[in-house]
Structure 1
Amino acid sequence: MHAIVFIVYPGFELLDVSGPASVFQGANRALSQAGRPAFYRVGLASALGGLVPSSCGLAVHTEPLAEHMEPLAGHTEPLAGRAPAPDTLLVAGAEREPLGAALRDAVLLAALQPLAASVQRLGSVCSGSLVLAALGLLDGHRVATHWDACQPLARAFPQVRVDPESLYVVDGRLWTSAGVTMGIDMALAMVAHDLDAQIAGDVAQRLVLYARRPGYQSQFSPVLQAQIQAGHPFADLIAWIDAHLDAPLDVGALAERAHMTERTFHRKFVSATGETPARFVETVRLDAARMLLAQGLAVKAVATRVGLFPTSRLSLAFQRRFGVSPALFQALHGTPP
């Protein structure tokens, strides 16, 4: 079995662990239903072991990091009472205060350093990247982290190439994800890598996820970013646009839904979001098109779903925005449906 160990410390973000762990256990469930043996063994470890409180007050039971060290020379199996060395090691993130305490925890860092050097796959969820950076394990690598940790990570560790956009980044054996729920996206990508895309898709469906998101997508979708900027009354309208991409979304239709004249709507929308309604609608449609193409949906079907039909209209907009055709993008990033 493939052993995955999450490294936690007092005040860690529980969802950084529970989200990805649910994905790995979901993969085992999907394998069982397909008549295949379980693949993942998931564990929790901390510097000294025992109960470790999370950011939400719930505590988890952990094993001491020392129990996961490689067997002594001459031993091919773990020593009695010692857990097997992990194949994948993932460090959970936290808010600034508990994360700062973890970075000052000499016992945690000393135990983690040799273990991290020996695993097949090393990674972090959210701001857990700073723990790996403190050990010099991210030097020269491109990494993702929570948007609020991007600048602190770049300032404190200039030798690390911080990617402020991607949901997750794979750089050799190093896997790093952006904030909180993006750990789920990264875990799904690991399942697809370790097993196959079908199992990953089954897990995503079981968890009632909207879609399996590829790593290159931004931490903030254009819909969420616009909702943050716009506020009332456009937040609801923006959500409606995202749910009705195949509908007519010209200025007249949107102004009518917002109960404004076209001129007033255009002026207020630009003021609130920084984009014209037409530019925003195209951005959301193309963002959705990228996601659907990456899932393997046919280009013609994608054009219909996102309201950029016929396919020539989708192709022109896609090429203009991203510099590649939808078909080439799908060849580079797509997975079978």
Structure 2
Amino acid sequence: MRTRQRPLPRTVAVLAYDGVRLLDVTAPLEVFSTAAGLGARYEVALLSPGGGAVTTSAGTRLLTDPVGQLAASRVHTLIVPGSPGLPEEVPAGLLDAVRTLHSVSWRTTSVCTGAFALAEAGLLRGRRATTHWRHTTTLTRRHPDIDVDGDAIFVRDGRIYTSAGVSAGLDLALALVEADEGHELAREVARDLVVFLQRPGGQSQFSVAARTPAPRHGTLAALLRSIAAAPAADHSLPELARRAGLSARHLTRLFNEEIGDTPGGYVEAVRLEAAQTLLDAGETVTATAHLSGLGSDETLRRVFLRHLGVTPSAYRARFRTTAPGVSANPPLSSVARPVRR
């Protein structure tokens, strides 16, 4: 009688190094280890170029195994986390470790600025990729052969996946679990970790003020504060120009030079953020449209679809599913590519 063999585990290798961001490491580790506890075939390994202890950017020390321990083995998923300093300087030995593990991996992924390590290793040439919104311009400038998507939570191109800032490692890891083990198990992992299985929107959902460069022009800074303080007020171009004491043309040029957007585009982004906050708080779609300054239900719907890829009603439904025992997460596709501005 032939003995039935159990399937081999899927080895998930997380590559740490001195200065690595702690959450970039631990978020995927939690997802895959939780999935393993629920019956998935994952075996997680924490590696570093030289093995031993590495010190994270938070000061926490992690004990790792050397890359050579898995270099001759088949790795299912390689995860390269980011670090605050990685866009400017790649730690010694990291690129060799990335290339070595990539050569024996079925798929290779990065979290946050880990995309810079993949790029420097030559793995993103001619591919689509993303990274933390704060560093997308740097990645584009340094590697013009990469199609950088500054809004996606994560991007898949072939067997390489890149994800956005920090907590996006959770989104990516959950998507990979879903692709490997199916929607039900991925949903159970998300429920255990109390996170969305699929986060609505892209990086553009994050605070407008946080991702806006500080303007050098004092008048422009005052305008931005007034827009944020009262999104529903009259912020038409003629009115903004009147308050600034500038011509509409001059004001538009200032916005483009210092903010990287038109006055209308910036106002719409602030109103979208206000609308999200109102929906999160339980306001109706109609009230949200009025209070955010977007005006009508139809305008609100168009703005949500254009920027977040979901309707206001679908977005609001997300926050009605946070009651205990309720789950209405839809399936997550293997590629998250929200509509960009």
Q: TM-score range by the shorter chain?
A: 0.5 to 0.7
Residues 231, 43 of structure 1: alpha-carbon distance in 2 compared, 3 angstrom cutoff:
farther
Residues 194, 38 of structure 1: alpha-carbon distance in 2 compared, 3 angstrom cutoff:
closer
- State the one-letter code of the partner of 1:55: S
CA distance in 1, matches of 2:209, 2:96: 43
TM-score normalised to structure 1 length: 0.64
Residues 43, 231 of structure 1: alpha-carbon distance in 2 compared, 3 angstrom cutoff:
farther
Of 56, 59, 70, which residue of structure 1 is paired with 2:58? 56
Is the 8 Å Cα contact of residues 147 and 178 (structure 1) preserved in structure 2?
Answer: yes
Partner of 2:116: 130
Partner of 2:19: 11
Per-residue deviation, 1:159: 1.3
Partner of 1:163: 149
Is the 8 Å Cα contact of residues 140 and 161 (structure 1) preserved in structure 2?
Answer: yes
Per-residue deviation, 1:44: 0.9
Aligned length: 278
Of 1, 10, 13, which residue of structure 2 is paired with 1:2? 10
CA distance in 2, matches of 1:166, 1:159: 18
Q: Which moved more, 1:157-166 or 1:199-208?
A: 199-208
CA distance in 1, matches of 2:51, 2:23: 19
Superposed CA offset, 1:72-110 (max 9, x none): xxxxxxxxxxxxx320001111122696141x43xx433
Per-residue deviation, 1:153: 2.1
Superposed CA offset, 1:41-61 (max 9, x none): 111111111111111111111
Per-residue deviation, 1:3: 1.2
Residues 155, 44 of structure 1: alpha-carbon distance in 2 compared, 3 angstrom cutoff:
same
Partner of 2:248: none
Partner of 2:330: 335
Q: Counterpart of 1:52 in 2: which secondary structure?
A: strand
CA distance in 2, matches of 1:149, 1:277: 20
Residues 98, 284 of structure 1: alpha-carbon distance in 2 compared, 3 angstrom cutoff:
closer
Superposed CA offset, 1:107-151 (max 9, x none): x43343132023111011111111111111110111111233323
Q: Counterpart of 2:89 in 1: which secondary structure?
A: helix
Structure 1, gaps ≥5 residues long: 32-36, 72-84, 242-248, 253-262, 293-300
CA distance in 2, matches of 1:306, 1:193: 38
Query: What is the root-mean-square deviation of aligned Cα atoms in Å?
Result: 4.6
CA distance in 1, matches of 2:192, 2:66: 32
Partner of 1:153: 139
Task: Output aligned runs, 1:250-329, within 5 Å.
Answer: 279=268, 283-284=272-273, 307=288, 314=297, 317-319=300-302, 322=305
CA distance in 1, matches of 2:266, 2:137: 31
Q: Counterpart of 2:57 in 1: which secondary structure?
A: coil
TM-score normalised to structure 2 length: 0.64
Per-residue deviation, 1:195: 2.1
Partner of 1:28: 36
Of 159, 166, 183, which residue of structure 2 is paired with 1:180? 166
Partner of 2:76: 87
Percent of residue pairs identical: 31
Is the 8 Å Cα contact of residues 11 and 98 (structure 1) preserved in structure 2?
Answer: no
- State the one-letter code of the partner of 1:335: P
CA distance in 2, matches of 1:306, 1:208: 29
- State the one-letter code of the partner of 2:59: G
- State the one-letter code of the partner of 2:190: A
Q: Counterpart of 2:204 in 1: which secondary structure?
A: coil
Is the 8 Å Cα contact of residues 86 and 116 (structure 2) preserved in structure 1?
Answer: no
Per-residue deviation, 1:40: 1.8
Per-residue deviation, 1:285: 7.1
Q: Counterpart of 1:151 in 2: which secondary structure?
A: helix
Partner of 2:127: 141
